[in-house]
Amino acid sequence: MTKRNPHFSALKPTYLFPEINQRKLQYLAQHPTAKLISLGIGDTTEPIPSTITHGLVDGAARLGTKEGYTGYGQEQGQSLLREKIAENIYHNRVSPQEVFISDGAKCDIGRLQALFGGDVSIAVQDPAYPVYVDGSLMHGVKQIHYMPCTPENHFFPTLKTTPPVNLIYFCSPNNPTGAVATHDQLKKLVQFAKIHQSIIIFDSAYAHYIQDPTLPRSIYEIEGAHEVAIEMGSFSKIAGFTGVRLGWTVVPEKLLFEDGTPVIRDWMRLFTTIFNGASNIAQQGGIAALSTQGFDEMQQLTQFYLENARLIVEGLKHFPLEIYGGTNAPYVWIRFPGQKSWDVFQMLLENVQIVTTPGSGFGPAGEGFVRLSAFGHRENVLEAIQRLQKLF
């Protein structure tokens, strides 16, 4: 009889977001007429902007012609898209050869974990996106150090108490807290990685939401980061591609393993072995998104969700609540002292029919918090604010 992968026994029975959906369905089964408003999962709700939609349509239409049909594409991604990401996203701080196009940042996190295997130690922001830990556990990682990021340390880890590790997972703007690391903070992180010969896995999926020009959008704005960091980006939250699936990972040529082997060499080998490349149609949408008009439309979409976040913060700030985030990020992080996150989740579900995300699902330091997502139709966000105001 086939044995189960023993590493799966280290996981919780369910992943965070299916658990939320299950509780939501259970509530609806008991209250079928309830009008739930979801401020929980970070899924986009507004239509894909027109220029980007036309790019997707044109990409699909071309496949229906003899001249425009393409089969397998380059595993690393279309050259034009890689060039546009290097130029428009990174302002040529990276080369197109260092950019790998994928079906999303979440998928690349899993592939990166396969690259490094289970015999590594990791440090992860706490709270943070659950995939960092769960994916590592699936690969057999046993040495996991949680770096608490709380209001008390301004949501940046105390590196003096962080032990030397092989990999450091870091997300800015952070999901779920909405905190954005400053240049000085990222300099400290890069310096820590250099001293301990660690590799930073830098998740910049929400970087486009950073509107403050004094804050870094990329780890590569920090001197020396090319020698210690891999960065992932995504079209999901900036172009509405959560269902289209398109992202990228930057692996600098200067980044080396302990034996001197360039990490990009092994990443290329893994990438071209288990992945046949992102959808040709999705990549045409990505190219359109990075045109002048497409970029402007993405900024408008970003501003819409940021306005949702601002409305949530403004609508609740006069109540006795500890509110964080909501600026330069699409998430609002609220503390409920002395209460369990799942209890608060259930209370909000039952009393005002609002679905949130319990902070404990993002790590031990998330206990006592809930996350509100700004991804939603404006009318639903406004109604959710009114419901919350009546409760508090």
Pairwise CA distance, residues 141 & 208, whole Å: 31
- Would 314 be classed as within a structural domain? yes
Cα 147 versus chain centre, distance: 18
116 and 228 fall within a common domain: yes
265 and 302 fall within a common domain: no
3-state secondary structure string across 30-81? HCCCCCCEECCCCCCCCCCCHHHHHHHHHHHHHCCCCCCCCCCCCCCCCHHH
Q: What is the pTM of this model?
A: 0.96
Q: Is 84 exposed, middle or buried (0-12, 13-18, 19+ CB in 10 A)?
A: buried
The response to whether 42 counts as a known ligand-binding position is yes
SS3 content of the chain, % helix, strand, coil (to 5): 45, 15, 40
Extract the tokens encoding 259. 């034996």
Pairwise CA distance, residues 271 & 283, whole Å: 17
Q: State the amino acid at position 82 in one-letter form.
A: R
134 and 256 fall within a common domain: yes
pLDDT at position 14 is 77
- Would 284 be classed as within a structural domain? yes
pLDDT at position 12 is 83
Residues 389, 351: contact at Cβ < 8 Å? no
180 and 55 fall within a common domain: yes
Q: Characterise 127 by phi-psi region: left (phi > 0), alpha (psi -120 to 50), beta (else).
A: beta
pLDDT at position 275 is 94
Q: Which of these three, 233, 257, 292, is where a domain ends?
A: 292
376 and 273 fall within a common domain: no
125 and 32 fall within a common domain: no
The response to whether 72 counts as a known ligand-binding position is yes
The response to whether 146 counts as a known ligand-binding position is no
Q: Which of these three, 292, 312, 336, is where a domain ends?
A: 292
Among candidates 51, 90, 104, which has minimal Cα distance to 208?
A: 90
182 and 85 fall within a common domain: yes
Domain range enclosing 343: 7-48+295-391
pLDDT single digits (tens) 155-175:
999 999 999 999 999 999 999
The response to whether 371 counts as a known ligand-binding position is yes
- Would 320 be classed as within a structural domain? yes
Pairwise CA distance, residues 233 & 313, whole Å: 26
Q: Characterise 110 by phi-psi region: left (phi > 0), alpha (psi -120 to 50), beta (else).
A: alpha
106 and 182 fall within a common domain: yes
Q: Which of these three, 240, 262, 292, is where a domain ends?
A: 292
DSSP classification of residue 279: -
The response to whether 276 counts as a known ligand-binding position is yes
- Would 2 be classed as within a structural domain? no
Pairwise CA distance, residues 116 & 90, whole Å: 25
Q: How many domains does the chain have?
A: 2
CATH number of the domain enclosing 287: 3.40.640.10
- Would 276 be classed as within a structural domain? yes
- Would 59 be classed as within a structural domain? yes
175 and 165 fall within a common domain: yes
- Would 279 be classed as within a structural domain? yes
The response to whether 234 counts as a known ligand-binding position is yes
Pairwise CA distance, residues 197 & 203, whole Å: 19
208 and 102 fall within a common domain: yes
The response to whether 328 counts as a known ligand-binding position is no
Point out the residues of the chain with pLDDT beneath 50. Answer: none
The response to whether 325 counts as a known ligand-binding position is no
61 and 152 fall within a common domain: yes
The response to whether 106 counts as a known ligand-binding position is yes
Q: Is 27 exposed, middle or buried (0-12, 13-18, 19+ CB in 10 A)?
A: middle
- Would 1 be classed as within a structural domain? no
111 and 183 fall within a common domain: yes
